[in-house]
Chain A
């Protein structure tokens, strides 16, 4: 079967599918074996395969913001160890100053050897429940430098030639609070081994020579696809900007994100010149998290079926000046960096809206999030809960398509799941009172934004501690081409004595009493096109379904309803015509 001189187009498809199925299998293995809910429920991890030079062969990107630094770090590791990479090695890495994206996102790399030669790498990276530093879980608003946030792990071998380096292992885990992190790192190693086994089966079958040739051909084929996508964008330079409203230390302080996107035939460059300088807190991006944000946003504007390998990445360049809030200089604190993705995405969207208006979405809802801990009075044990269901607002609309309701932030793009309500009441002492679409939260438009949600639960523990972080509470998701903006995020507590409090982002609340009502609104996405162009029958139906109020229908959509709720066609078209005439 081995034809060494030419590319077999069929075998090429076989390889592409095999790489995908290997990374999927690695992903399933990791999800089923981990214990931290951030990994096994929210799937905050990525798995991938890389060639011997560190070029991406394929990835399974459950949380895309983690994804696009695995390959650069693989290249860094290859340089770092040089000749000293052996069969049976396992290498850990999280260091943001050697291209890691977030301290808590700890990667495992496994070199794959075939007939004594290094031929490829399997790798995965997951958000670990703790990584040392000053506070559990890593989110330390008071941090000003990396050592206050985390244990730095530059490339380090925890296994060499198949043998555990117990001293190194113990050194790492002596600096991490929770035991489950050890188990979850073992699960990451297991996932890499699953990938290695499958990959070797493939080589045994087709041979190294065939793999090398077809891999190159796959990169070329994918790069052609990517270039064809870029070629559809008119050449030119497009600028956009957005604002970060919060740096964790000074409420009211603002930072500008500026991007200039240059499209030259088959190449696209994202240049962040002009972006504001880094903050003195932990609200700072790393190059890797910011570049991943740029790539994942762009990927949503093109053919979603392009294989994810080096060929896809080659035509994209991301330049971020060092010392800016998107690429903070050593030794800055950066844990919040992944959450700058929404602002970054907004700037990119505004820029490309000029070039490819039919492919961009209006603004997405940003993340505002809470983490609750206390002792559960039902059995006296500690619980920790991130209110995933409450934080997910709507996505932006685009030409021809309404936004997606309750999808959550753009860096997960619908990959992050709500807790099941009954499991929530088993695992926390709270009682869920409400989790429903939020009427009138969507940015109005010919195509409306995705709906946000309202969440309300009664806190069932004493001396409860809450950490609030995120934004979207100052500027709503923006509309495009006459579409309106979505609604704002907010969190409000009503204490048993009736007093209310609206905590600000990065507030740490302690001693919250049992019986307090927690209420959160996650805003809707931005609309696209003038609302009075929206199909009035659709609006009437949405009024009937109580996701748009009749007042909003009249005021914003210029839709008049009869007493029975059905559309008053005559009055509606009259009202809409008046609007159009006054616009002319």
Chain B
């Protein structure tokens, strides 16, 4: 038997999904162990040990039969969030060394005079001006001063920097100065981590490129030493398969690429979610969905349309711009640990402060005093004091009740249940806002998509989110509690390249354009060669960023490479007009001049996907898994009453449930309120419907599998 493993290292838990390569193997198995933040590879090896034990294999036997490990890491994310990256220097064009710190002069909170700028990743004395200049189209107007670079090297040595970023004005048009400066630095400081902008992101917009390049240098040494440690640990236990790293754009990459472009892992953690969500609806014939993942402190939402998760190139991390393609995932501060409080006007608020894992919610009994979302869920009867995390942890109901009474119920003159329900509703509303961000805010109606719900706490709130946004259907995957680890096994290899190519369409040099695109595709092929991907498993796509001349925002759209060979200006132009109208509600006349700004190429290598075992329809009745009744708060009736409680881990294909009901699993609980009903599908996922709303919206899954 050969295995594939997805591993998601989170702040509290490290999640694993173990699958077999061969068809007919066992159903995917879930493992969870406590994370070891000081050396994440410890928890990782620990998890592998548990898997080996469960298969009655020695660790060595097991490791030798693992074909692929896909790994998502928060090493780089945390380095930036906690400001603990490498000591980094920047070589940049003389005269603009402060662009990094200025961030184009923005203060995000306009009315807050106490709001301060974010500390730059490179202090001013390590931002070193270098003479030499390109103009807007890459002509040299001043030669590179090699003596400036030499002097910089002396300083860098004295300062013992660990990483050096290099970003010069207009290097997207001509990288020769950056190349030469890189050579000089490498020659004298071979041990530093070097991050030149032309290699990472050769596209126009100085600040975006600069900030991305510095981030790349800043996290480079950390990620590299982590990967070295991880590779060594895996080798020691006898692993000789392929190790791949999840990248922010939803694809995976080789260790080698991750070492060269560590900034691609800044969103590695949640990036597997959207792809995973897609797979759970694809088995029902759908190509679009929304995914939501609710953890302890944060809530991630994303939208996937036409089988493709949306990608942005103007993201931020800790207020630093990152212009590399990242999945468009909205993260808001709403989770199980979100704290309930009253503002000066007496309005109930939830979060964004979180009790985290320590002290955690009041009911954990670890010293927390401020009531959290989890406390509210316990008081409302959605969580069980005895069966939390499969009974591994007892929750203190009385303490949770008391905290909510004192801090929320009394001041608002509500009963404790009403107050707890208020907290529950505000959190649900905040999460609905996150879903709005990825849908309605872009003019997309969330009711047209099924929602895939993940994270330990997500299925408790899903009915309320769907009620709020009138979403008719949602899916709770069997693997919902380790969603991202599952997603990692479903991700393909993605290699994204961008090149600035500023030209009006009617003045385009099509030959040069075509050559540039071919070159980008060749670079993708080189990487796919290294990844060992067969040519039959490869594909490419080309996107243009275009705008009407004198506009400031571009529209990105996919073009057919044949058009470029044929210099087919009309095809490009009419597609642009159409996309512009679709997005912004208007278009200009057919002859309005259009300009191209960037070309984006993606090379994709398809990986083997896990095989999910299909279950036969069960002839048993759902009542066979009824565990009893529990007192729980019903939103529709606004009161507590006894509702059915089911053992979700024993649910079989075809079991149907009418709300109100609680379906309890080891790592998560699905709360079905009165307006919802659910069915267990052939992969063990719960498909949930809002009663009476599924017929008219063409979202009915049932015919596919009932």
Q: How far is the CB of A415 from chain B (nearest CB, A)?
A: 5
Q: How far is the CA of A416 from the CA of B349 in the complex (A)?
A: 30
Write 23 A-B pairs (CB below 8 A) sorted by A numbering.
A9-B348, A12-B347, A17-B433, A24-B441, A29-B584, A40-B551, A41-B552, A225-B343, A225-B345, A303-B344, A400-B114, A402-B116, A404-B117, A413-B110, A418-B104, A420-B205, A421-B206, A426-B136, A432-B95, A436-B95, A436-B96, A453-B98, A547-B124
Contact of B105 among A14, A61, A190, A417 (CB under 8 A): A417
The 0/1 profile, CB within 8 Å of A marked 1, for residues 64-96 of chain B is 000000000000000000000000000000011
In the complex formed, the residue of A with least CB distance to B500 is A422
Residues of B within 8 A of A183 (CB): 586
Q: Is A582's beta carbon under 8 Å from chain B?
A: no
Q: How far is the CB of A364 from chain B (nearest CB, A)?
A: 10
Q: How far is the CB of B558 from chain A (nearest CB, A)?
A: 20
Q: Do residues B111 and A456 form an inter-chain contact, with CB atoms below 8 A?
A: no
Given contacts A305-B343, A435-B99, 17 further A-B contacts (CB under 8 A): A10-B421, A33-B585, A35-B550, A64-B110, A190-B586, A224-B344, A224-B346, A228-B344, A300-B112, A304-B109, A395-B113, A414-B107, A415-B107, A421-B96, A432-B96, A453-B98, A545-B124
Best-buried of A413, A436, A546 by chain B (most CB within 10 Å)? A436
Interface on B for A, CB 8 Å cutoff? 95-99, 101-102, 104-117, 123-125, 133, 135-136, 141, 169-170, 172, 204-208, 343-349, 412, 414, 421-422, 425-426, 429-430, 433, 436, 440-441, 502, 548, 550-553, 583-586
Q: Do residues A422 and B206 form an inter-chain contact, with CB atoms below 8 A?
A: yes
With contacts A32-B553, A64-B110, A418-B105 known, is A401 near B135, CB below 8 A? no
Q: How far is the CA of A426 from the CA of B136 in the complex (A)?
A: 6
Main secondary structure of the interface of B (DSSP, over half): loop
Residues of A within 8 A of B124 (CB): 437, 545-547
Q: How far is the CA of A24 from the CA of B98 in the complex (A)?
A: 31
Q: How far is the CA of A44 from the CA of B361 in the complex (A)?
A: 44
The 0/1 profile, CB within 8 Å of B marked 1, for residues 386-430 of chain A is 000100100100101110111110001111111011110110000
Q: Is A25's beta carbon under 8 Å from chain B?
A: yes
Q: Do residues B117 and A304 form an inter-chain contact, with CB atoms below 8 A?
A: no
Q: Do residues B344 and A225 form an inter-chain contact, with CB atoms below 8 A?
A: yes
Contact of A398 among B95, B101, B114, B429 (CB under 8 A): B114
Q: How far is the CA of A400 from the CA of B552 in the complex (A)?
A: 39
Q: Do residues A40 and B552 form an inter-chain contact, with CB atoms below 8 A?
A: yes
Q: How far is the CB of A36 from chain B (nearest CB, A)?
A: 9
With contacts A304-B112, A545-B124 known, is A407 near B345, CB below 8 A? no
Q: Is A544's beta carbon under 8 Å from chain B?
A: yes
Q: Do residues B107 and A222 form an inter-chain contact, with CB atoms below 8 A?
A: no
Q: Do residues A9 and B105 form an inter-chain contact, with CB atoms below 8 A?
A: no
In the complex formed, the residue of A with least CB distance to B502 is A426
Residues of B within 8 A of A465 (CB): none
In the complex formed, the residue of B with least CB distance to A13 is B347
Q: How far is the CA of A420 from the CA of B553 in the complex (A)?
A: 13
Q: Do residues B169 and A422 form an inter-chain contact, with CB atoms below 8 A?
A: yes
Residues of A within 8 A of B111 (CB): 64, 296, 299-300, 304, 413
Q: Do residues A433 and B205 form an inter-chain contact, with CB atoms below 8 A?
A: no
Contact of A9 among B112, B204, B422 (CB under 8 A): B422
Best-buried of A10, A12, A407, A435 by chain B (most CB within 10 Å)? A10
Contact of A423 among B110, B114, B125, B204 (CB under 8 A): B204
Q: Is A251's beta carbon under 8 Å from chain B?
A: no
Interface on A for B, CB 8 Å cutoff? 9-10, 12-14, 16-17, 21, 24-25, 28-29, 31-33, 35, 37, 40-41, 61, 64, 183, 186, 190, 198, 221-222, 224-225, 228, 296, 299-301, 303-307, 361, 389, 392, 395, 398, 400-402, 404-408, 412-418, 420-423, 425-426, 431-437, 453, 456, 544-547
Q: Do residues B105 and A420 form an inter-chain contact, with CB atoms below 8 A?
A: no
Q: Do residues B123 and A545 form an inter-chain contact, with CB atoms below 8 A?
A: yes
Q: Do residues B426 and A13 form an inter-chain contact, with CB atoms below 8 A?
A: yes
Best-buried of B98, B206, B502, B553 by chain A (most CB within 10 Å)? B98
Contact of B97 among A299, A418, A436 (CB under 8 A): A436
Q: How far is the CA of A435 from the CA of B99 in the complex (A)?
A: 8
In the complex formed, the residue of B with least CB distance to A420 is B205
In the complex formed, the residue of A with least CB distance to B207 is A420
Residues of B within 8 A of A434 (CB): 95-96
Q: How far is the CB of A419 from chain B (nearest CB, A)?
A: 8
Residues of A within 8 A of B113 (CB): 300-301, 361, 395, 398, 401
Residues of B within 8 A of A32 (CB): 553, 583-584
Q: How far is the CA of A161 from the CA of B414 in the complex (A)?
A: 46
Q: Do residues B552 and A37 form an inter-chain contact, with CB atoms below 8 A?
A: yes
Contact of B106 among A28, A224, A414, A425 (CB under 8 A): A414
Residues of B within 8 A of A431 (CB): 133, 135, 141
Q: How far is the CB of A184 from chain B (nearest CB, A)?
A: 11
Q: Do residues B114 and A14 form an inter-chain contact, with CB atoms below 8 A?
A: no
Contact of A417 among B104, B116, B441, B585 (CB under 8 A): B104
Q: How far is the CA of A299 from the CA of B110 in the complex (A)?
A: 10
Q: Do residues B429 and A14 form an inter-chain contact, with CB atoms below 8 A?
A: yes
Q: How far is the CB of B555 from chain A (nearest CB, A)?
A: 10
Q: Do residues B114 and A407 form an inter-chain contact, with CB atoms below 8 A?
A: no
**Across the A-B interface, the 8 shortest Cβ-Cβ residue pairs:** A414-B107, A545-B124, A434-B95, A221-B345, A304-B112, A413-B110, A304-B111, A225-B345
Residues of A within 8 A of B349 (CB): 13
Residues of A within 8 A of B440 (CB): 25, 198
Contact of A414 among B105, B172, B583 (CB under 8 A): B105
Q: Do residues B105 and A545 form an inter-chain contact, with CB atoms below 8 A?
A: no
Q: Do residues A33 and B586 form an inter-chain contact, with CB atoms below 8 A?
A: yes
Q: How far is the CA of A37 from the CA of B552 in the complex (A)?
A: 7
Residues of B within 8 A of A14 (CB): 429
Q: How far is the CB of B550 from chain A (nearest CB, A)?
A: 6
Q: How far is the CA of A415 from the CA of B345 in the complex (A)?
A: 27
In the complex formed, the residue of B with least CB distance to A543 is B125
With contacts A32-B553, A300-B113, A415-B110 known, is A406 near B441, CB below 8 A? no
Q: Do residues B347 and A221 form an inter-chain contact, with CB atoms below 8 A?
A: yes
Residues of B within 8 A of A413 (CB): 107, 110-111
Q: How far is the CA of A300 from the CA of B345 in the complex (A)?
A: 19
Residues of B within 8 A of A186 (CB): 586
Q: How far is the CB of B152 from chain A (nearest CB, A)?
A: 15
With contacts A304-B112, A422-B169 known, is A437 near B98, CB below 8 A? yes
Q: Do residues A425 and B344 form an inter-chain contact, with CB atoms below 8 A?
A: no
Q: Do residues B204 and A426 form an inter-chain contact, with CB atoms below 8 A?
A: yes
Q: Do residues A421 and B99 form an inter-chain contact, with CB atoms below 8 A?
A: yes
Residues of A within 8 A of B422 (CB): 9-10
Q: How far is the CB of B500 from chain A (nearest CB, A)?
A: 9
Residues of B within 8 A of A296 (CB): 111
Q: How far is the CA of A547 from the CA of B110 in the complex (A)?
A: 25
Q: How far is the CA of A423 from the CA of B172 in the complex (A)?
A: 12
Q: How far is the CA of A406 from the CA of B103 in the complex (A)?
A: 10
In the complex formed, the residue of B with least CB distance to A25 is B441
With contacts A413-B107, A547-B124 known, is A422 near B436, CB below 8 A? no
Residues of A within 8 A of B206 (CB): 420-422
Q: Do residues B102 and A422 form an inter-chain contact, with CB atoms below 8 A?
A: no
Q: How far is the CA of A416 from the CA of B104 in the complex (A)?
A: 9
Residues of B within 8 A of A225 (CB): 343-345
Q: How far is the CA of A412 from the CA of B550 in the complex (A)?
A: 24
In the complex formed, the residue of B with least CB distance to A383 is B550
Best-buried of B135, B206, B347, B550 by chain A (most CB within 10 Å)? B347
Q: Do residues B426 and A10 form an inter-chain contact, with CB atoms below 8 A?
A: yes
Q: Do residues A425 and B425 form an inter-chain contact, with CB atoms below 8 A?
A: no
Residues of B within 8 A of A433 (CB): 95
Residues of A within 8 A of B135 (CB): 425, 431
Q: How far is the CB of A565 from chain B (nearest CB, A)?
A: 9
Q: How far is the CA of A39 from the CA of B500 in the complex (A)?
A: 25
Q: How far is the CB of A27 from chain B (nearest CB, A)?
A: 11
Q: How far is the CA of A436 from the CA of B584 in the complex (A)?
A: 36
Residues of A within 8 A of B502 (CB): 426
Q: How far is the CA of A100 from the CA of B114 in the complex (A)?
A: 31
Q: How far is the CB of B634 from chain A (nearest CB, A)?
A: 13
Contact of A61 among B110, B172, B441 (CB under 8 A): B110
